[in-house]
Chain A
């Protein structure tokens, strides 16, 4: 639905059209955006704004720049490319050129149209809202996932260190045993609940835990 609004505070011409359009948007809660991050296919719009949620780009055409026949068509085509980065895209042009422009074509492409003349700036065709805020959405999700992975890693670390403590406590509970009265203590290997089944009843655990604590007996 066309929102017919006119800004008539000052006479608008080629020299101050951008200033007038800025005033139009800022009065509606938008703030200007630097143009560096908005380029599409190497082209930059003349103006860009954000309302905190959506980005709006404008291709501003002056009377002086529309002398060539195909200039308007080229500008319209350029504007379509901005829909890949901005949520709303307008073409702003002198009102006298409105008659040679088919608004249906702009509507089909989702472009909005703003006209200006000496009386001010008006929006005659609202643009379509292009949803690509999703670019920031995944990064938000990734951030959330990263935080969850960090939390999980911390949890695993805590569990792992607790497991080591439990194992040491179990070993100590069995008490140090020594083959020789004054020999080095032998930590009797226990079978914590988490050990695999091949530890169960394995006589080698006792044999191997005495390595270095018994008289030398190398077979062979």
Chain B
């Protein structure tokens, strides 16, 4: 098996919580992106009887063409990695993973006769238990048996991919997605026993936004998750200091007034005298420990609790500052100061807008993390937000596949290397 062949046919797959990014090395700077979801068709529906048989699972851009009644969408439209983890016995989700992988590989099947299969690098959450590796390898092996499109595969943690894409060998990567967040120190390898997982992500910010909308008289809109997310992204602000920012907003309500017109509709959301609440949204994502949130918990907002997936405990209420300190302190002492110098924030949960006219009260995600670390006594931390967060994991996969020698074989002790199917 030649190194040149592997380099020419390296393929990357990033199983994100919301989106699936994929493509071969020849795709260039950007991968293809589709939603990481699958739709189970209703074999008994009248439309299917008329239109003829279709695949039982639909993935990719054609999904909207098959969506039927809105009532059963929640059972038929499945996001397998919504929480970063798939339970071992969740056969529906694993079926989607198989289908979506097949879709990606067939979308880029080369026509040349010299093609005998890709060297595939898939990226999963850093807290994925061993069975997820085993199940994904098995799915890829099945695809190779059926289509001959995967010569060998490897799986790497998403934070390692981010570090590779950003060309930083020693750093702490904080990957925060829809359902959870992972803090992963990296020093040429992911420091696996120092990883800290948080059971809190963009979805929790959405949940609090929904409660705020209810309080402000927009309870009828909170059932549309995409709308709530838009409100969060457009009105939510990260406070430098929650109490001080709220005081500023209450003293000058007109300057902080939060109004959002939903594009393409007649809906306008105006938080009016409650506009100070926009700071709660940003604070909650980074630090849910403030006493103000207690009233929301007591009124029914799901309090992020500690949960166990595989061998990993996902902490619910840990703030990002404490989480970083805990992760770094799990590493050798002489490495710790280097890690604080390169903290990389990655994932959609760190993409917050910062209106320049409110810069006296609101900050961006990197400043907030820096402030949280200063509270813990870490003064010289350098925190940056990853560029191109949507593409960076895939890019890391491509560099990894291109560089790691083809004869470096998979080891279940190291969790790296190539698992060659042929």
Name the CB-closest residue of A to B335. A219
Q: How many Å from the CB of A196 to the closest CB on chain B?
A: 5
Q: How many Å from the CB of A96 to the closest CB on chain B?
A: 55
Contact of B167 among A153, A160, A167, A203 (CB under 8 A): A203
Q: By the criterion of a CB under 8 Å from any partner CB, how many residues of chain A are at the interface? A: 35
Interface bits A193-215 vs B (CB < 8 Å: 1, else 0):
01111110111110111011100
Q: How many Å from the CB of B106 to the closest CB on chain A?
A: 17
Any chain A CB within 8 A of the CB of B146? no
- Given contacts A156-B111, A157-B112, A220-B192, whether A187 and B407 have CB atoms under 8 Å apart is no
Whether B3 lies near A171 (C-beta < 8 A) is yes
Any chain B CB within 8 A of the CB of A161? yes
Any chain B CB within 8 A of the CB of A76? no
Any chain A CB within 8 A of the CB of B114? yes
Whether A208 lies near B403 (C-beta < 8 A) is yes
Considering the chains assembled together, what is the distance between the CA atoms of A205 and B192 in angstroms?
A: 21
Whether A220 lies near B402 (C-beta < 8 A) is no
Q: Which of A159-177 contact B (CB under 8 A)?
A: 160-161, 163-164, 167-168, 171
Considering the chains assembled together, what is the distance between the CA atoms of A219 and B201 in angstroms?
A: 27
Whether B167 lies near A202 (C-beta < 8 A) is yes
Considering the chains assembled together, what is the distance between the CA atoms of A160 and B400 in angstroms?
A: 22
- Given contacts A153-B111, A157-B111, A204-B169, whether A187 and B405 have CB atoms under 8 Å apart is yes
Whether A196 lies near B398 (C-beta < 8 A) is yes
Residues in A with CB closer than 8 Å to B413 are 218
Interface bits B1-24 vs A (CB < 8 Å: 1, else 0):
011110110000000000000000
Contact of A160 among B4, B29, B110, B404 (CB under 8 A): B110
Residues in B with CB closer than 8 Å to A168 are 2, 4
Contact of B164 among A156, A164, A196, A202 (CB under 8 A): A202
Contact of A220 among B4, B26, B110, B191 (CB under 8 A): B191
Any chain B CB within 8 A of the CB of A186? yes
Contact of B404 among A202, A203, A208 (CB under 8 A): A208
Number of A-B residue pairs, CB cutoff 8 Å, is 108
- Given contacts A201-B167, A202-B399, whether A184 and B407 have CB atoms under 8 Å apart is yes
Any chain A CB within 8 A of the CB of B265? no
Any chain A CB within 8 A of the CB of B66? no
Name the CB-closest residue of A to B27. A196
Whether B400 lies near A196 (C-beta < 8 A) is no
- Given contacts A201-B167, A205-B402, A213-B405, whether A219 and B414 have CB atoms under 8 Å apart is no
Residues in B with CB closer than 8 Å to A156 are 111-112
Considering the chains assembled together, what is the distance between the CA atoms of A219 and B195 in angstroms?
A: 12
Any chain A CB within 8 A of the CB of B190? yes
Whether B414 lies near A167 (C-beta < 8 A) is no
Whether A217 lies near B167 (C-beta < 8 A) is no
Any chain B CB within 8 A of the CB of A32? no
Whether B169 lies near A219 (C-beta < 8 A) is no
Whether B414 lies near A218 (C-beta < 8 A) is yes
Interface bits B389-422 vs A (CB < 8 Å: 1, else 0):
0000001001110111101110001101100000
Residues in B with CB closer than 8 Å to A203 are 167, 169
- Given contacts A164-B8, A167-B8, A220-B193, whether A209 and B399 have CB atoms under 8 Å apart is no
Whether B191 lies near A211 (C-beta < 8 A) is no
Q: How many Å from the CB of A176 to the closest CB on chain B?
A: 11
Considering the chains assembled together, what is the distance between the CA atoms of A204 and B417 in angstroms?
A: 15
Q: How many Å from the CB of B109 to the closest CB on chain A?
A: 13
Q: Which of B84-130 contact A (CB under 8 A)?
A: 110-114
Q: Which of B293-350 contact A (CB under 8 A)?
A: 331
Q: How many Å from the CB of A158 to the closest CB on chain B?
A: 9
Whether A212 lies near B405 (C-beta < 8 A) is yes
Any chain A CB within 8 A of the CB of B198? no
Any chain A CB within 8 A of the CB of B131? no
Any chain A CB within 8 A of the CB of B187? yes
Considering the chains assembled together, what is the distance between the CA atoms of A161 and B8 in angstroms?
A: 10
Whether B416 lies near A199 (C-beta < 8 A) is no
Residues in A with CB closer than 8 Å to B255 are none
Residues in A with CB closer than 8 Å to B403 are 189, 204-205, 207-209
Residues in B with CB closer than 8 Å to A196 are 25, 28-29, 395, 398
Residues in A with CB closer than 8 Å to B167 are 198, 201-204
> Lowest 3 A-B CB distances belong to which pairs?
A212-B408, A208-B403, A168-B4
What is A's interface to B at a CB cutoff of 8 Å?
153, 156-157, 160-161, 163-164, 167-168, 171, 184, 186-187, 189, 194-199, 201-205, 207-209, 211-213, 217-220
- Could you pull out 17 A-B pairs where Cβ atoms are within 8 angstroms? A160-B112, A161-B114, A164-B8, A164-B114, A167-B8, A187-B405, A189-B402, A189-B403, A194-B26, A198-B398, A207-B188, A207-B403, A211-B405, A211-B417, A213-B405, A218-B413, A218-B414
